[in-house]
Amino acid sequence: MTGSALIPVTVLTGFLGSGKTTVMNHLLRQPGMDGVVAIINEFGEVGLDHLLVETSEERFALLDNGCVCCSVREDLVTLLDELSARQAGRAVPPIRRILIETTGLADPVPVLHTLMTAPSVVSRYRIDGVVVTVDAVNALRSLDNHAEAVKQIAVADRILLTKTDLAEAASVAELERRIGAINPTVSVMRVNHGCVEPGAVLEAGLFTPDARSGQVASWFAAAAAAIAAQEHASHHQHHHAHGSDVSSFSLIVNEPIQWAAFSRWLDYVAALKGDDLLRFKGLINVADRPQGPVVVHAVQHVLHPPVTMEAWPSDDRSSRLVFIVRDIPAEAIERTLARFGEISRDSIVRPAA
Amino acid sequence: MSEIKTNADTLFRNGRIYTVDRSRPWVSCAAVKAGRFVAIGEESDVKAAVGLDTVVVDLGGRMAMPGIIDIHNHIMMGGQADLYELRFPSNHSISQIAAAVKQAAEKAAPGSWIVGGQFGSDLLVRLNTDDAAVELNAASLGHPVLLRDDSYHNRWASAEALRIAGVAADTQNPVDGEIGRDLRSGNLTGLMVEAASGIVERALAKAGHYTAEMDRAAVARSIGVLNSFGVTGFVDAASMQPILAALKGLDDRGVLSAWAVCAMPIVEPGFMFGTAGDELFALRDQFRSAHVRPDYAKMFLDGVPGAKTAAFHEPYIADPVRGCCFRGATMLTVPELIRWLGKCEKLGLGAKIHCAGDAAVTQALDAIEVVRSFNGPTNLIHHIAHASYIAPDDIKRFADLGVAADLSPIIWFPTVFLEAHKAAMGTERAERFWPNRDLNDVGVLMAGGSDWPVIPNPDPWHGIEGMVTRRNPAGDFPGASLWPEQALGLETVLEIYTINAARAAGLGKITGSIEVGKSADLIVLDQKLFDIPADQIAETNVEMTFFEGRKVYERRQ
């Protein structure tokens, strides 16, 4: 379903003043960053000879595919196209990776949609991961006041918790609890003064074509366990993050899934509830592809090109789905998945805590 | 201090009043005050409401019942054609059409448009020639002329009309349309096919040919026709801005004599032009009034079976153009329909979805099921319009999802439409048409409609008789019946035309039955429907029509 020569793109976003630029500067000064192109929004000299630094403006365009809610960062498409052209003309050294920094408190979704939908981008690049910096001192307030802050956490693969040395231990714990409530599947790492290993940020790698199925399966197992733990802790059927209507739940499907029916179902859900389907990840047992699972993920109404795995990590052939949603009842997902995904209702279960 | 009047304004007495209220179907008297029924029953039940100043209407033992609701019509078109258009039958030859145009042109004010119709769509090839264009242009005497065909999909325009519309020799065909050109000379012929019609129609609208006053008069004329058949409420199935404005204008002047529910198109329908979709929705409260309710959106999922544009699960009969396996296509995908329905529900709009083929019905139900699953219960009632070819598994889904079956146009008995369907898909399939009994058995909300002017006459009595007999009430196709097992009893059919249609139109608490508190929409008939053979129902004459207690029609003897 996807080739293997795609250039990985890491999206770095974060709350205002959360130390995003500090992390960026630290990363770019580490050894072994040759071939990494950083795209930043704001000017600011990152004067390193072996790096390319590009800037982009905030310009938005509607995607001409009838999908009005899908905004694409036109400037980003242009920039990535130019980079490809320059590389093809050997005007720049081979590009190994792109690192995009977005403005603080921006909605990261348009950047993700650009990376997932613009044809020229999709054919050359792939999202590697979304990394969000969250500062331990101010984040609780941001989460209460800014929907974008909640969204950033909801779409994150990695969270870098900054300024933990300046915050009370109790409030750091509370923040970690809040993050877990919004996105139980995210990995949270504390960093001080931007000191972070490049590998921890850049090698999210979960949805790469060469990821080992074992890693992916254990990610889903961990995510399901995290969600179950949240449910248990809150005595809710599925967990509602305190102070927001964002919730998460996971499902297991115990029969092979027809791909056509499944993608039809996903199209239907995305058409109605795309805005509220903040993040969806699935490890799918596709009926006519028994040798290995297909990994899918979606950000709002946009589905990332599916990734096929060559083998199953264990005898467990169930499909696993993880949802981070705003105000979507799990029951409606289950009912419509059974109906339009052509799956027996009894085969769809929630993992035990 | 003036005394507050407590007596009824009007008392209907000595009637056989069929209330369509199951708890009390028959009464002899109904008292009305301020447009509402205030007392219903026998003489003794209404006595207290009657005073010296109450106007008494003696029904003389005649049958009365609630006013009829037409769930689907196009309220501007009939009146507009009647009042302002050159009318000629669709079997007119090109020369006959030219003669009619010439006669109109001689009388028309200088520079004014001549609009008319409908020419037979079988003329399209012959119209698309230099010879025909010369004939029309000579007859036009320099006037802009715009003629519509019987399908409302195509137009024939004079050279002056093309000039005003900016159509020149080098004008490109629009998407999904064709600007007619003589095959040999390449000259414009004036024929405008499908989407090309919009180019001339928009020029006509821009020219101000129809003023707001004319629009009001046209709508008033149409409603007058409806009132004469006992109709006191309707859903206009494609409400563009001029229609909304005309209805509101009439209501503001206190002369709107029916409940007007409006379904605003999500995109320009093929036969009307102007603002649609979000832009039109945004204007709706500006047109809302006591009797005008812009509470529905209209969407077209497919075309019609006769032209093989309806979407079916099984293929049409093979033909040279479409090949062996053509099933028709839908104009919206299910996700697109889901997105529109989601938007409509947010705005509080019900959806009226045109679905002529069974595959279109399935897709509409799928979309509604998705929306229902996520949005939960709603008071909005979505309509599947022309719910006529329905896969057996879908029948019950109407009931489960609370979807109303809009039964229109009036063709649930043998008609020329059925003959065209037989040609398109074979007799056996064509006759699995209008499973009304099946829908009723599982409790689907069904509502009767005319689709006027698709059917040239919005007479509901033909529909009521045909729903009971499944035979053609006009006597065409004698001896033939359509799927007679799907016939319904009169009691059920009267509900379909009154209270059930009112519910589907969002008027169920206001009208549709004769109950205390409801609008005094009452009609008096010249025969007792339950006492006559079913094949005489179509001959029913409406003697009087009351809307909110006000007499809006009386039959001349």
Question: Any chain A CB within 8 A of the CB of B338?
Answer: yes
At B438-452, the pLDDT tens digits run 999 999 999 999 999
The CB density around residue B83, as the number of other CB atoms within 10 Å, is 13
β-pair partners for A111:
none
Query: pLDDT tens for residues B413-430?
Result: 999 889 999 999 999 999
CB contact under 8 A, B336 and A66: yes
Q: Do B442 and B399 touch, CB atoms closer than 8 A?
A: yes
Q: A298-307, A312-321, B196-205, B456-465: lowest mean pLDDT where?
A: A298-307
B259-268 residue pLDDT tens: 999 999 999 8
Cβ contact B374–A273 (<8 Å)? yes
Interface check B342 vs A, CB under 8 A = yes
pLDDT-derived band at B150, boundaries 50, 70, 90: confident
pLDDT in tens, B491-500: 999 999 999 9
List b or e across B480-510, with b for residues whose CB sees 16 or more CB atoms inside 10 angstroms.
ebbbeebbbebebbbbbbbbbbbbbbbbbeb
Phi (first) and psi of residue B477, to 5 degrees: 55, 55
Whole-angstrom distance, CA of residue A126 vs CA of residue A138: 32
Please state, for a pLDDT cut of 90, what percent of chain B lies above it.
88
Q: B367 is written with which tokens?
A: 């979309």
Q: Which residues of A touch B277 (CB under 8 A)?
A: none
Global pTM value: 0.86
Q: Of A69, A263, A268, A339, which to mutate for an interface test with B (greatest number of B Cβ within 10 Å)?
A: A268
CB B381 within 8 A of CB B506: yes
C-alpha span between A209 and A293 (Å, rounded): 12
- Tell me how close the Cα of A1 comes to any Cα of chain B, in angstroms: 23
CB burial string A340-349: b at 16+ within 10 A, e below: bbbbeeebbe
Q: In this structure, how many other beta carbons lie within 10 angstroms of the beta carbon of residue A57?
A: 10
Inter-chain Cβ pairs, chain A and chain B, closer than 8 A? 42
- For residue B201, give the nearest of B245, B149, B253, B142 by alpha carbon: B149
Q: In chain A, what are the domains? A: 7-201 (3.40.50.300), 213-349 (3.30.1220.10)
From chain B, pick out residues whose CB is under 8 angstroms from the CB of A328.
374
pLDDT computed for residue A334 by the predictor: 96
Q: Where are the alpha helices (DSSP H) in B273-352?
A: 278-282, 284-287, 334-347
In chain A, what residues touch B374 (CB-CB under 8 Å)?
Answer: 269, 272-273, 328-329, 332, 336
Q: Write down the pLDDT at residue B176.
A: 79
DSSP summary character for residue B519: B
Task: Spell out which residues of chain B touch residue A267, defining contact as CB-CB under 8 Å.
Answer: 334-335
* B282/B285 Cα distance (integer angstroms): 8
DSSP assignment, residue B502? H
Give residue B315's identity as a one-letter amino acid code. P
Q: Tell me the chain A residues in contact with residue B366 when contact means C-beta distances shorter than 8 Å.
A: 268, 340
Instruction: Give the other-Cβ count within 10 Å of B166's Cβ.
Output: 11
Q: How big is the CA angle at A145 (ends A143 and A148), to the nearest 5 degrees?
A: 65
Report the pLDDT averaged over residues B189-206.
Answer: 92
Interface with chain A: mutation pick from B374, B378, B397, highest number of A CBs within 10 Å: B374
In the numeric block, the tokens 């809009």 are attached to: B406
Longest dimension (CA), chain B: 85
| Closest C-alpha among B295, B290, B296 to residue B36 | B290
Partner-chain residue, chosen from B341, B371, B373, that has the shortest CB–CB distance to A335:
B373
- If DSSP states are collapsed to H, E and C, what string results for B48-117? HHCCCCCEEEECCCCEEEECEEEEEECHHHHHHHHHHCEECCCCCCHHHHHHHHHHHHHHCCCCCCEEEE
Runs of H (alpha helix) within A29-185: 74-88, 109-117, 119-122, 139-145, 147-155, 169-182
**C-alpha to C-alpha distance for B341 and B335, rounded to whole angstroms:** 10
Chain A residues whose beta carbon lies within 8 Å of the beta carbon of residue B341: 272
Average pLDDT value for residue range B122-151 = 94
Distance set, CA B224 to CA A230, B219, B462, B554 (Å): 66, 8, 18, 11
pLDDT at A57 (0 to 100): 42
Between the alpha carbon of residue B185 and those of residues B123, B154, B156, B159, B192, the distances in Å are 19, 22, 18, 16, 17
Phi/psi zone of residue B360: left (φ > 0), alpha (ψ -120 to 50 degrees), beta? alpha
Residues of A in contact with B267 (CB under 8 A): none
Which residue in A has a C-alpha nearest to residue B340's C-alpha?
A272
Cα distance between residue B162 and residue B158, in whole Å: 6
Q: Are B73 and B454 in contact (CB under 8 A)?
A: no
Per-residue H/E/C for B440-493: HHCCCCEEECCCCCCCCCCCHHHHHHHHHHCECCCCCCCCCECCHHHCCCHHHH
A332 contacts in B (CB within 8 Å)?
Answer: 373-374
CB–CB of B18/B25 below 8 Å?
yes
B188 pLDDT band, cuts 50/70/90, is very high
B387-399, pLDDT tens digit by residue? 999 999 999 999 9
Distance from C-alpha of B399 to C-alpha of B444, rounded to nearest angstrom: 5
How far apart, in whole angstroms, are the C-alpha atoms of residue A174 and residue A172? 5
Q: What is the pLDDT of residue A65?
A: 33
Q: Are B513 and B18 spatial neighbours (Cβ–Cβ below 8 Å)? A: no
Beta carbons of A109 and A152 less than 8 angstroms apart: no
* Ranges of chain A whose pLDDT falls below 70: 1-4, 41-73, 103-106, 204-213, 233-244, 353
Taking each continuous run of H as one helix and of E as one strand, the counts in chain A are 11, 17
Chain-chain contact of A268 with B336 (C-beta, under 8 angstroms): no
Helix or strand or coil: residue B270? coil
- Three-class SS string for B159-197? HHHHHHCCCCCCCCCCCCEEEEECCCCCCEEEEEEECCH
Residues B348, B297 contacting (CB under 8 angstroms): no
* pLDDT tens profile B277-322: 999 999 999 999 999 999 999 999 998 898 888 999 999 999 888 8
DSSP annotation of B310: S
What is the arithmetic mean of pLDDT over B128-135?
Answer: 96
pLDDT at B61 over 70: yes
Distance from CA of A341 to the nearest CA of B (A): 12
With CA atoms as reference, report the closest residue to B197 among B164, B241, B242, B165: B165
pLDDT tens per residue, range B99-128: 999 999 999 999 999 999 889 888 988 999
* A→B interface, C-beta within 8 Å: 66, 264, 267-273, 328-329, 332, 335-336, 339-340
Cα–Cα distance measured from residue B373 to residue B370, given in angstroms and rounded to the nearest whole number? 5
The pLDDT of residue A51 is 46
Query: Does residue B341 have a pLDDT over 90?
Result: yes
